[in-house]
């Protein structure tokens, strides 16, 4: 693995957003010194960590000069700029726009619905949002609809979410599928386009990152 | 105004996301042929429009070759790539990452909380999300907390959200403030850093876009 900026450190741990960054780095063939943040021990809510990210969330990238970058996609964008090949945010104006569009659509529609279930039903997130378990249940029944929407959108037979190339949108959608399984939410097996795409993504070595 | 790609067309109308794109174009000094979509008449849910965006949302950019770009930030990114000056997504790896980080933080924390109030309380959004008015009320009381968080984050005296330069993060946060006022939600006047920043943003000609 090629190192980039060995004086930087990546605070990460369990959970979908750290996983997104790990897959992204594996696809790039890069790595960074890591600091494990134990969410189960509440280390992300410790005074020292809150000085790094006031939102108490991981992952966070701290550069050698002390610059702090939070938000998984922002960390990935920094790595893309520093290490452009292979491009995972698209190459050229149209591809870049398509990746931005699809990464957001997957985040807002699929990941967001799964997130609503988790945030409103899991004890772990009780400080994050005012919890309404009935909303979690309503969104739970919506999760298969969101996958069905994605399946219809992929009916043109394209191999990846944003087109004919692998991108961060595939990472986001793949991690959404992982999260969906983790919370035992429904992803209908009958959705062939999504099933074939997911098989393709899960076959990549980066999936084990 | 300089035209870019006169064979493209921008489907837009009222609402925060069309406004974000209009401000972005005004900052760039560019314009595009526009197709007004009347949300009040439900034109965004018409069969013809759903063929353009299955999510029934505006804005949408349709390029001359038929390429469809949805999601306001994706449209802005396309315009940034085609028309790089002045950079509104930041220049260089660190600035780009900071803009991505802050645009997302503002979207997720501030705009997202305002959105929860709107989505869960407004008749207009009844098909968009299973509505829980009690969640809207809980988030209504959270809105001032989110502005207070942003105010603390800006206590370093920087003039703009992502640093010393104007960016799409300022557009997102400015439109969040506009939306906050529209729904008569609370943005405490005592938050001096936010107040000074907002005055700076609202003084720009692009605010009237």
- Please tell me which residue of chain A has the smallest CA distance to B139: A130
Which pLDDT tens digit goes with each residue over B124-180?
999 889 999 999 999 999 999 999 999 999 999 999 999 999 999 999 999 999 999
Cβ neighbours, 10 Å, residue A207: 15
**d(CA B204, nearest CA chain A) in Å:** 26
Single out the residue of A118, A152, A147, A123 nearest to residue A135, CA to CA.
A118
Q: What is the pLDDT of residues A79-96, one digit of tens each?
A: 999 999 999 999 999 999
Best A101, A135, A147, A162 member to test B by mutation, with max B CBs in 10 Å, is A101
Q: Does B66 touch chain A (CB under 8 A)?
A: no
A164 to chain B nearest CA, in Å?
14
Q: What is the nearest CA distance from B87 to chain A, expressed in angstroms?
A: 14
What is the pLDDT confidence band of residue A119, given thresholds at 50, 70 and 90? very high
Residue B2 has pLDDT above 70, yes or no: no
Q: In A, which residues are within 8 Å of B109 by CB distance?
A: 55
Q: What is the pLDDT of residues B48-101, one digit of tens each?
A: 999 999 999 999 999 999 999 999 999 999 999 999 999 999 999 999 999 999
| ipTM, interface predicted TM-score of the complex | 0.96
Question: Has residue B1 got a pLDDT over 70?
Answer: no
What confidence score (pLDDT) does residue A5 get?
75
Mean pLDDT throughout A93-102? Answer: 98
Residue A2 has pLDDT above 70, yes or no: no
Contact A138 B130 (CB under 8 A): yes
B90-114 pLDDT tens trace: 999 999 999 999 999 999 999 999 9
CA-CA distance, A65 to A74, in Å (whole number)?
A: 17
Instruction: Please report residues of B whose CB lies closer than 8 A to that of A70.
Output: 101, 105
| Whether the bond into A59 is cis, omega within 30 of 0 | yes
CB pairs under 8 A between A and B: 92
pLDDT tops 70 at residue B181: yes
* Best to test chain A binding among B65, B76, B77, B97 (most A CBs inside 10 Å): B97
pLDDT over 60 (residue A78): yes
Structure token pair of residue A14: 């369990």
pLDDT value at residue A3 = 60
A93-115 as b/e, with b when 16 or more CB fall inside 10 Å? bbbbbbbbbbbbbbbbbbbbbbb
- A55/B93 CB distance under 8 A: no
Inter-chain residue contact A71 with B100, CB threshold 8 Å: yes
pLDDT for the residue numbered A6: 79
Residues 70 to 99 of B: which have CB under 8 A from any A CB? 70-71, 73-75, 77-78, 81-82, 92-94, 96-98
Mean pLDDT of B1-11: 79
A193 touches chain B (CB under 8 A): no
Write down the pLDDT at residue B5: 75
pLDDT higher than threshold 80 for residue B3: no
Q: What DSSP assignment string belongs to chain A?
A: -EES-TT-EEEE-SSHHHHHHHHHHHHHTEE--EEE--GGGTGGGSHHHHHH-TT--S-EEE-TT--EEESHHHHHHHHHHHS-SS-SS-SSHHHHHHHHHHHHHIIIIIIHHHHHHHHHH-GGGTTTS---HHHHHHHHTTHHHHHHHHHHHTTT--SBTTBSS--HHHHHHHHHHHHHHHTT----TT-HHHHHHHHHHHTSGGGG-
CA dist A53 and A30 (Å) reads: 24
Q: What phi, psi does B179 have (nearest 5°)?
A: -70, -40
Please judge whether B75 and A97 are an interchain contact, meaning their C-beta atoms are less than 8 angstroms apart. yes
């Amino acid at each position: 693995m090629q190192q980039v900026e060995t004086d930087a450190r990546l605070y990460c741990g369990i959970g979908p957003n750290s996983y997104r960054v790990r897959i992204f780095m594996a696809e790039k063939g890069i790595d960074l010194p890591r600091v494990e943040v134990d969410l189960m021990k509440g280390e992300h809510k410790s005074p020292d960590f809150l000085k790094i990210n006031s939102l108490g969330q991981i992952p966070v990238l701290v550069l050698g000069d002390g610059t702090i970058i939070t938000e998984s996609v922002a960390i990935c964008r920094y790595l893309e700029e520093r290490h452009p090949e292979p491009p995972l945010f698209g190459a050229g104006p149209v591809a870049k726009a398509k990746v931005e569009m699809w990464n957001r659509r997957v985040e807002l529609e699929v990941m967001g619905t799964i997130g609503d279930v988790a945030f409103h039903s899991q004890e772990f997130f009780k400080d994050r949002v005012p919890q309404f378990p009935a909303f979690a249940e309503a969104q739970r029944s919506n999760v298969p609809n969101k996958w069905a929407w994605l399946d219809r959108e992929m009916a043109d037979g394209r191999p990846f979410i944003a087109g004919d190339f692998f991108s961060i949108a595939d990472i986001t959608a793949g991690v959404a599928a992982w999260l969906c399984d983790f919370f035992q939410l429904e992803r209908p097996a009958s959705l062939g386009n999504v099933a074939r795409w997911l098989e393709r993504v899960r076959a990549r070595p980066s999936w084990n990152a």
